[in-house]
Amino acid sequence: MLILKKLITLGIVFLFLASLGSFAVSSPASRDSKQEALAILTEDSKDALISATFEGGDGQVYISTVEAIGFPTDGDSYVILSSGIASEAVDGSIGSTGGISISNGHPVFGTEINDVATLTIKLKVPTNAKTLSFKWLFGSNEIPEYVDEYRDLFRAYAILPDGSTKDMALLPNGNILYVGDRIQNYTASDQNVSINEVTSAYTATLDVSKYRGKEITLIFQIADERDDSVDTFAFIDELKFVRESREKADRRSYIMMIQIWSKYFFNEYDQFAALYAKAEEIGVSNETLEKALELHLNATEQILYAWHTDDLESIRIKIWKQYVPLPRVYAIRRAYLYERDAIELLMSAIEEIES
Ligand SMILES: [Ca+2]
Ligand SMILES: [Ca+2]
Ligand SMILES: [Ca+2]
């Protein structure tokens, strides 16, 4: 069967007719492919979807619910992308191929590629996102006979907010996927799958913490090299943003409270000595002075207790960088409130005398 296909492609007349045919049938425009994107996205990352489009023959992308070779990895559906009819991998023949060719389109060799299928997914990076990741698996009917001869490819890369690109679906050795001798660990696929050989499933991961709130575009592309008759497939699922854990977010807001209340405390504390001296000088009652001093001492006691120290000045430096052991935030707040009351008491007593 494979040999027959190759023989056909060697016949010039057939090749000519075949390419004429495939070009005549299709002038594929990109179409909405939100459903495909939703099949790949995990439940809690679906709200990050801005838009999705597909370019290629209508059969080259397929939302599958067939359980095969570990897919779906999340939810009950996933996407198969193919340089032929994608559903043929698991579910018969649905749709047509597209016949889009790109001369010099091969990302590794710069050669012509055919039956190019491109799924584009635009996402907004959540404000607490750490990484963007998805699971993928590559398989081809070119393997094992035509390895390094018909170097069909699967490429998945991100277009970052600054316009630069970053390849995501890479082999453990860092290579972009193509039917070449560096593809390793491929195995005959299981009974549910009509692909000669498939790789293991891999996880692609990109650090997106720098792009929070911004847009990232993901491009998934698959194609034949040289001819278009023996096809290649990619399975894709579990596209998701991994977010900062609740625990970490909680710790961050806890530290922010520590910083804020400590700063408030020192704003009040730094006024005390001058105000107290002035109050004494203009004759504020001893009772009031004593009360203010008591509040001030309570405040100091609380802030030292909060910061596990007996050196008040050292706290000023620690506020911005040292949280081990973690200060007691409730005691910092209490210290601030005592100090604030002390200041208010002195100020109103002074005001009363001066007016
Ligand atoms: Ca899914
Ligand atoms: Ca091929
Ligand atoms: Ca093809």
Residue type, 165: T
CA of 113 to the centre of ligand 3 (A): 10
User: For residue 181, what are the β-bridge partners?
Assistant: none
- What is the rounded CA–CA span in Å between residue 122 and residue 217? 4
CA of 100 to the centre of ligand 3 (A): 10
CATH H-level superfamily of 25-243: Galactose-binding domain-like (2.60.120.260)
CA angle 25/31/32 to nearest 5° reads 155
| pLDDT at residue 4 in the model | 52
| pLDDT at residue 5 in the model | 56
Contact 80, 231 (CB under 8 A): no
Contact 166, 206 (CB under 8 A): yes
CA of 186 to the centre of ligand 3 (A): 21
CA of 80 to the centre of ligand 1 (A): 11
Smallest-distance ligand from the CA of 97: 3
Tokens describing residue 223: 């194609």
CA of 206 to the centre of ligand 3 (A): 30
Taking each helix axis as running N to C, give the angle between helix 2-10 and helix 12-25, from 0 to 180 degrees, rounded to the nearest 10.
Answer: 90
> What residues have CB less than 8 Å from 273, skipping those under 6 apart?
none
- What is the rounded CA–CA span in Å between residue 310 and residue 299? 13
Tell me the domain boundaries of the chain. Answer: 25-243, 247-354
Q: Smallest Cα–Cα separation from 343: which of 270, 259, 258?
A: 270
| DSSP at 29 | P
CA of 194 to the centre of ligand 3 (A): 15
pLDDT, tens digit only, all 355 positions of the chain: 455 555 545 444 344 434 443 443 444 578 999 999 999 999 999 999 999 999 999 999 999 999 999 999 999 999 999 999 999 999 999 999 888 999 999 999 999 999 999 999 999 999 999 999 999 999 999 988 899 999 999 999 999 999 999 999 998 888 899 998 677 667 766 778 999 999 889 999 999 999 999 999 999 999 999 999 999 999 999 999 999 887 777 888 899 999 999 999 999 999 999 999 999 999 999 999 999 999 999 999 999 999 999 999 999 999 988 888 999 999 999 999 999 999 999 999 999 999 8
Measure the CA dihedral 39/44/47/53, to 10°: -20
Asked if residue 325 has a cis previous peptide bond (ω within 30° of 0), the answer is yes
Q: Distance from CA of residue 229 to its chain's centroid?
A: 36
| pLDDT at residue 21 in the model | 39
What is the residue whose two structure tokens read 């700063």?
A: 263
| pLDDT at residue 252 in the model | 85
- Does domain 247-354 fall into CATH 1.20.140? yes
Give the Å distances, CA to CA, from 306 to 60, 158, 262.
Answer: 63, 47, 10
